[in-house]
């Protein structure tokens, strides 16, 4: 009997082998299906806080004016709507009156959200502005919600700010000119459910050794990494095999906080990947990769190469997912000298855990650049 491809008790090497035969809709279905038989959140050490920052919720095109949608992120039920003024707004989903979920059947009234149960109307701060059948609004619901969910629109995405205390954004969302440039293609999107931790996923890029054992690269890549406050960047030079022989490729990665990251590929084919990765629950992360390329290239004679590059990036993510779906989060991981700067990554990442502020090493992280080359 074939081993189940969506079961955590199937060995990664067996899953990778089965994956090499999956294509099209079957591959898409595998990426989204729940991984069965995985150990509990507690056993996997995943009951840790969520890091704060800006995170993607929906594509801008997925929320029209007057539309209301339910969302679930950060272990909370949420509601998002777009007012008549075109602005998107987000609140906790449960109505303060009798607890209806406003994401199912809620309506937009002007710029406010109307609950489907008794038509109480909320503004974007969670203040009840109107109760159509009451003479006075109870004072408890005239106050804004303690947890605010600011929304911003960037790169054809609706981004929202997550902080465990619901406090105001500490930095701005980053915009990429290519994403709204008419010379660049519409997004090509690949989507996954990852049954693991967002921190383990983010660590992957600095985990130099896994490239050989998980992705089968011939050698460990050269890299240059820089870290500065909430930002980090990486440049990797890699020889890439193409139908036209070996090409020098360059991969530039950047992230601003834990929820916004991008990768630019040059060499084979100009490509911008806007990576949209948002935690849903402690062991469940939604990942959407949005690729855009210059239209001339995506539709021109290099189109085949450009598509091959996208397929290869997604294949690497598939391979990593197999590990992440089964992985534990180890706060005191043992790192060896060939591992790449995992310890530094963890110190950088720690700044986004409000709940852990004051624990551990308090010396501020200075801007630093790290390089490794065979040269
Ligand atoms: S439960 Fe929302 S208005 Fe009554
Ligand atoms: Fe990887």
Same structural domain, 198 and 129? no
Same structural domain, 121 and 219? no
Same structural domain, 262 and 213? yes
Same structural domain, 72 and 134? yes
- Alpha-carbon gap, residue 274 to 317, rounded angstroms: 14
CATH of the domain at 129: 2.102.10.10
163 C-beta neighbours (distance < 10 Å), count: 20
Regarding the beta carbon of 107 and ligand 1, being less than 6 Å apart is answered no
Regarding the beta carbon of 231 and ligand 1, being less than 6 Å apart is answered no
pLDDT single digits (tens) 68-124: 999 999 999 999 999 999 999 999 999 999 999 999 999 999 999 999 999 999 999
**pLDDT tops 60 at residue 374:** no
- Determine, yes or no, domain membership for 229: yes
For the chain, what is the mean pLDDT?
Answer: 92
**pLDDT tops 70 at residue 308:** yes
C-alpha distance from residue 294 to each of 40, 135, 304, 343 (Å): 44, 58, 14, 37
- Determine, yes or no, domain membership for 8: no
- Determine, yes or no, domain membership for 241: yes
Same structural domain, 330 and 238? yes
Report yes or no on whether pTM surpasses 0.85. yes
Domain boundary among 120, 137, 162: 162
Predicted pLDDT of residue 83: 98
Same structural domain, 99 and 153? yes
Predicted pLDDT of residue 239: 67
| CA-119 nearest atom, ligand 1 | 3
- Determine, yes or no, domain membership for 7: no
Name the domain count of the chain.
2
Same structural domain, 215 and 325? yes
> What are the backbone angles phi and psi of residue 33, rounded to the nearest 5°?
-65, 150
**pLDDT tops 90 at residue 357:** no
- Alpha-carbon gap, residue 298 to 311, rounded angstroms: 14
Same structural domain, 67 and 111? yes
Same structural domain, 211 and 75? no
- Determine, yes or no, domain membership for 257: yes
Same structural domain, 319 and 185? yes
Give residue 72's domain range.
53-162
Q: Which residues pair with 334 in a beta bridge?
A: none
- Determine, yes or no, domain membership for 259: yes
**pLDDT tops 80 at residue 255:** yes
Between the ranges 208-212, 268-272, 316-320, where is the mean pLDDT highest?
A: 316-320
The protein residue whose alpha carbon is closest to atom 4 in ligand 1 is: 118
Of 215 and 249, the structure prediction assigns the larger pLDDT to 215
Q: Which residues contact 82 (CB under 8 A, 6 or more apart)?
A: 63, 64, 65, 66, 67, 88, 89, 108
CATH of the domain at 184: 3.90.380.10
Cα 209 to middle of ligand 2, angstroms:
10
Q: Are 82 and 63 in contact (CB under 8 A)?
A: yes
- Determine, yes or no, domain membership for 17: no
In the sheet that holds 76-82, the strands lie side by side as 68-73, 76-82, 88-92
Dihedral angle computed from the Cα positions of residues 235, 56, 155 and 261, in that order, rounded to the nearest 10 degrees = -10
pLDDT band at 37 (very low <50, low <70, confident <90, very high): very high
Domain boundary among 162, 194, 219: 162
Cα 196 to middle of ligand 2, angstroms:
14
**Strand pairing of 271-281 and 284-292?**
antiparallel
Same structural domain, 101 and 246? no
Same structural domain, 58 and 182? no
- Alpha-carbon gap, residue 190 to 174, rounded angstroms: 21
Domain boundary among 100, 132, 162: 162
- Determine, yes or no, domain membership for 38: no
Cα 146 to middle of ligand 2, angstroms:
38
């Amino acid at each position: 009997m074939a081993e189940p491809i969506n079961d955590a008790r199937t060995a990664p090497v067996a899953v990778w082998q089965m994956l090499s035969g999956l294509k099209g809709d079957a591959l898409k279905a595998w990426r989204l299906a729940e991984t069965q038989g995985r150990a509990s959140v507690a056993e996997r050490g995943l009951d840790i806080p969520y890091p704060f920052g800006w995170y993607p919720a929906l594509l801008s095109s997925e929320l029209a004016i007057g539309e209301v949608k339910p969302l679930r992120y950060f272990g909370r039920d949420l509601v998002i709507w777009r007012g008549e003024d075109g602005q998107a707004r987000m609140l906790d989903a449960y109505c303060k009156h009798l607890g209806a979920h406003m994401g199912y059947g809620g309506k937009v009234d002007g710029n406010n959200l109307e609950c489907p149960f008794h038509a109480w109307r909320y503004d974007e701060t969670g203040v009840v502005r109107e109760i159509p059948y009451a003479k006075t609004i109870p004072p408890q619901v005239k106050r804004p919600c303690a947890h605010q969910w600011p929304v911003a629109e960037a790169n054809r995405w609706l981004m929202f700010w997550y902080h465990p205390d619901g406090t105001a954004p500490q930095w701005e969302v980053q915009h990429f000119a290519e994403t709204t440039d008419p010379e660049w293609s519409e997004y090509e999107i690949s989507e996954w459910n990852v049954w693991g931790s967002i921190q383990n996923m983010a660590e992957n890029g600095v985990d130099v050794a896994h490239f050989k054992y998980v992705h089968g690269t011939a050698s460990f890549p050269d890299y240059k990494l820089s870290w500065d406050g909430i930002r980090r960047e990486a440049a990797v030079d890699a020889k890439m095999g193409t139908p036209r022989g070996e090409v020098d490729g360059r991969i530039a990665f950047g992230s601003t906080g834990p929820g916004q990251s991008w990768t630019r590929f040059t060499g084979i084919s100009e490509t911008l990947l806007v990576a949209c990765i948002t935690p849903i629950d402690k062991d469940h992360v939604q990942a959407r990769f949005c690729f855009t390329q210059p239209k001339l290239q995506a539709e021109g004679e290099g189109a085949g190469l450009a598509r091959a590059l996208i397929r290869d990036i997604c294949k690497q993510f598939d391979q990593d997912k197999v590990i992440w779906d089964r992985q534990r989060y180890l706060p005191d991981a043992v790192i060896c000298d060939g591992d790449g700067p995992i310890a530094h990554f963890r110190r950088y990442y720690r700044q986004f855990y409000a709940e852990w502020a004051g624990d551990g090493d308090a010396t501020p992280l200075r801007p630093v650049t790290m390089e490794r080359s065979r040269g």
